[in-house]
Every structure is written in C-alpha cells, then in structure tokens.
Structure 1
C-alpha cells in the first residue's frame, strides 16, 4: 500500500514539473504578450485607474485641466491696408506668436490688396489677442471661433503609450531569457513593432500638445476704398452721404473694369472687323458681277 502511494506521489510530482516547464516555454516564446488597441483591456483598466485617481478621499470629484483646441477665423476690411498689415505682424510678435502662412495678393481689376495670415498664438494669450483686434477694428471685423475638447483623446494617447512601454519592457525581459533562435527572432520582431507603435503614439500626442498650446488664427485683411458708417451710430444724413460716395466708388470701379475688359477684347474686335471687311468686299464684287451679267443679257 505504501509502495503504491509513493508511486502516485512521484507521478504527481513529474506531472507538476512538466506543466511548469510548459508554462516557462510558453512565456519564452512571447505568446503571453498583449496587443494594444482602442478596445484593449489593459488600456481600459489603466484609464479606469486614472479616473479613480481623480476622486478625492471625501468622495468629491477633482476636475483635471481640460485640453482645448481653439481655432478662430477673422475677416477685416480696412482703408489703411499697409498700416494695418504691419500692425497684425507686430501684434503677433508681441504675443509671441508664430506665422504658419502669409500671402499678399492684389486684384487685377480693382487694384485692392488682400493679406491672408495663419497665426499660432499661445492659448493662454488668445483672449487678449482677440481683444486687441476688436479694439483696433471695432466696426469692420467679423470673427468665428470654434473650440474642441480633446481631453479624452489626449488621456487615451498617454495611457496607450504607458501600456506600450510596459509591453516593451516585458518583451525585453523575455528576450534576455530566450535561448532558441526562433524565440529570439519572434520576440525581436515584436519589439520592433512595439517601438514603432510607441513612436506613432508619441507623434500623435506631440501634435495634440502643439494644437493645445497654440491656438490657430486665420486672418483675412481686405483693402477697401471706403467704409460704410456703423449702423448703430450713423445719422440719416451721413448714411445718404456715404451712399453717394459708395455709388461713385462703384461707378469708377465698374468703368475701370469695362475699360480693361475692352482692352483684352481688342484682338477679337480687330478680327471681327477684318472678317466683316472681307465679307463686304466679297459681297460687293459678287453684286457687281451679277449686274454685269444681267446687263449683257439685256443687250442681247
């Protein structure tokens, strides 16, 4: 009986050792590693952990800093184009902004200029920047502002990077224990893929940080010969006076456009006149020939 018990114990010990070796072999091959995706369990657990950290001991929620991306489109008309163009560039400089795009164009017909700017203003100074523009152009500026809350996207990117870095650390530990060439190659491929994913996520996070740190201002400054008076302050007399001024301005620009159009049309006008002259010449000869034939027939 004792002999049978000893045999049973020995068999159980051998079975336990074989299971342990199998588990170690599985870990060395990297099969126990985890992948990261938008619905990854590890990401979800880490995000939940961060959410729990946002709750104080008293049970009250602590609101973290929100990540906001601000974009403003600004349209300005001015009678002092050069002066206001210089003002916009100096204002951007005073607020430590960056110029992403600048273009100045002139209309071929009216000769009026247009300045297009894409400015990146530090987000904590954007309100002051907009107030400065409103003070400069109180009646001749139109603005459109949108704000996007990207806090969730930002936090998810941070969490994904942390999960990937933990995965990379674990893979390197497995690589240090690996002995077979096939295991080493498989783990190294997984490491390369993980490093690439980390770089992609860090690039996305860096772009988000830049968009959050600097608000974007698209500015269009258009030159005009005259401004209509503010509707809230202008009297009837000033409105009538301005209407006559605008009428004269429109008439002059219309005549300029007409003259320029006629100049462009000169070659076509000349061709039409030449064609008409040739046609009339041909028609005249034909009529003369008919008259001559008819006269000869009458004489006969």
Structure 2
C-alpha cells in the first residue's frame, strides 16, 4: 500500500514538472515573439524616418532601376535667324526679364554676307551670343514664349546632367567634417600644453578650409540646379527661306535654289563694285605705268630706226 502511494506521488510530481516546463516554454516563446515584433516595428519606423529625412525623388523605369535623381543640372542651346535683329533681341531680353532670369554673358559682333569687300564698306549684319540664367521651374514656359517670336529657330538642344550622387556624397563629407570640427573645438578647450594647442589648431584650420571648399561646391551645384543655363544666339540675315523643313518637293527645292542664287549674285555684284571703287587708285597707277612703258618703247623704237 505504501509502495502504491509512493508511485502515485512520483507520478504526480512528474506531471506537475512537465506542466511547468511547458508553461515556461510557452511564456518564453511568447516573450521572444513579442520582442521580435517590437524590434521589427522599431526598424520599420526608423527606415521610414530615414526615407522621409532624405527626401529623394527617384524616377524609375518599369523594372525598378533608377533613371535620374532630384539634383539635375539642365543646359539649353538655342540658335535663331531673323530679319529684324533689334526686334528679336528686344523680345528675347524682355522674355528673360519676365521670368526673373538674368544675363551672365553676351557678345555682339557683325559680319558681311561675303568676304570680297572690306568690312566697313560692305552691308553689315549682326549676330549676338547670350548666356542666360533662367529659373528651372519656369524653363518650359520660357521656351514656349520664345517660340512665339518672329524668328526662325535653327536648332534647340537640351542636355541633362544628374549630380545627385555627387551632391549627396559632398553633403555627407561636410557632415563628417562638421563633427570633426566640433570634436577638435572640445579638445582645444581641454588642451593644456602649447604643443597640443598648436597641433589641434592646425588640424582645425585644415578641417574648416576643407569644409568651406565643399560647401562652396554645394552652393555652385545649387545655383546650377535652380537656374538653368540657356545659350542663345541670334543671327541677322538678309533673307530667310520660308520653308526649310525636310521633305521639300523637287519644284520647291528648285525655287529655293534659284532665289538663293539670285541673292548670292546680287550681293556678289555689290561687293565686286565696292572692291572696284577701292581698286581705282591702283588701276590708275598701273595704267599710268603701262602708258609710260609704251611711251618709252615707242621712243626707243624710233631712235633705232
């Protein structure tokens, strides 16, 4: 009877210990699960905060590969021909002013349709080259307004340079240098010997100089990004063909060639006539020398006879 009670007590203890072990395991699993979920939630929150802080705008294709970042430098090249040089250039400058742009560079020169006559006597035509800075946000509207002026657009080229990666790397480097500068200032306050002070000050000066150079580079990037470079040239012409598009008919090409040849011959005659006027003194001197030569030869021939 005592043996049976002992076996029953042993069995009871085994069941109790098994139940406690299972309960502890369940509690441990639940704790680990809750801890893992909390850690994942914390990491997700941190990732979202980092993405919001970066604020980058990525343009991607259908496969998810990055095409272009948010730090982009645009450059535009435009070339126009016009019959009324003054009216066209005035329109261009007024349009630039309307969009709060400014002139960074301009160069005006003159030329003649042919090189036969001297420049100061031939009919002179003008050309001008501009470098404008136009706010990037207003660039498309600015180009649309230029299409409305009375001039023929020979070409339009738009280039894009993505400097996002370089910009971000420079920002990161500036942040590192700022942290280094802060630590050096702390060490400078704690320095006791003259040697330590001089060494820290030299390192601090180099750090400040490098940071300012990188900051200047960022400022240049910001200016190029916010204000697009627009290279624009206007050339005055004596004549502009009304149809220069591709696909001209054979008769239209003959008509254009005939008109162009007429204008070329017309200006050739003008330049040749002006050249002749310049050459009159030389022609008279040459004629006089030839006359004297004939006179001398005639006298010599008479003496021989």
Same fold? TM cut 0.5: yes
Asked if structure 2 preserves the Cα contact closer than 8 Å seen for 1:69 and 1:150, the reply is yes
Aligned-pair distance for 1:285? Answer: 7.4
State yes or no: 1:254 paired with 2:258.
Answer: no
User: What is the TM-score normalised by the length of structure 2?
Assistant: 0.66
Structure 2 vs 1, CA of residues 251 and 184 (structure 1 numbering), >3 Å: closer, same or farther? same
User: What is the TM-score normalised by the length of structure 1?
Assistant: 0.67
- For residue 224 of structure 2, the aligned residue among 208, 211, 215 is 211
My pick for the range that moved more, 104-113 or 208-217, is: 104-113
Q: Deviations over 1:101-151 (max 9, x none)?
A: 123222234411112111111111111212222343685331112110111
Asked if structure 2 preserves the Cα contact closer than 8 Å seen for 1:157 and 1:205, the reply is yes
SS of the equivalent of 1:143 reads strand
State yes or no: 1:181 paired with 2:194.
Answer: yes
Corresponding residue for residue 144 of structure 1:
157
- Report which of the two structures shows the higher radius of gyration computed on alpha carbons: 2
Using the alignment, how far apart are the partners of 2:300 and 2:237 within structure 1?
Answer: 59
Structure 2 vs 1, CA of residues 83 and 138 (structure 1 numbering), >3 Å: closer, same or farther? closer
SS of the equivalent of 1:146 reads strand
State yes or no: 1:99 paired with 2:103.
Answer: yes
Corresponding residue for residue 3 of structure 1:
none
Using the alignment, how far apart are the partners of 1:200 and 1:219 within structure 2?
Answer: 32
State yes or no: 1:83 paired with 2:87.
Answer: yes
Corresponding residue for residue 72 of structure 2:
68
Aligned-pair distance for 1:89? Answer: 0.5
Corresponding residue for residue 11 of structure 1:
none
Q: Deviations over 1:251-279 (max 9, x none)?
A: 12222333444455566656766766676
Corresponding residue for residue 192 of structure 1:
205
Using the alignment, how far apart are the partners of 2:157 and 2:85 within structure 1?
Answer: 22
My pick for the range that moved more, 175-184 or 242-251, is: 242-251
Aligned-pair distance for 1:88? Answer: 0.3
Asked if structure 2 preserves the Cα contact closer than 8 Å seen for 1:120 and 1:216, the reply is yes
Asked if structure 1 preserves the Cα contact closer than 8 Å seen for 2:82 and 2:152, the reply is no
Where structure 1 has 5 or more consecutive residues not aligned to the other structure, the ranges are 1-48, 296-300
Aligned-pair distance for 1:215? Answer: 0.5
Asked if structure 2 preserves the Cα contact closer than 8 Å seen for 1:54 and 1:62, the reply is no
Q: Deviations over 1:194-227 (max 9, x none)?
A: 1111111111111111000011111111111222
Asked if structure 2 preserves the Cα contact closer than 8 Å seen for 1:100 and 1:119, the reply is yes
Query: How big is the alpha-carbon RMSD for the aligned residues of Structure 1 and Structure 2?
Result: 3.5
Structure 2 vs 1, CA of residues 209 and 131 (structure 1 numbering), >3 Å: closer, same or farther? same
Q: How many residues align?
A: 239
Aligned-pair distance for 1:86? Answer: 0.7
Asked if structure 2 preserves the Cα contact closer than 8 Å seen for 1:134 and 1:141, the reply is no
- For residue 53 of structure 1, the aligned residue among 50, 57, 62 is 50
Aligned-pair distance for 1:175? Answer: 0.7
Using the alignment, how far apart are the partners of 2:300 and 2:192 within structure 1?
Answer: 107
Aligned-pair distance for 1:96? Answer: 0.9
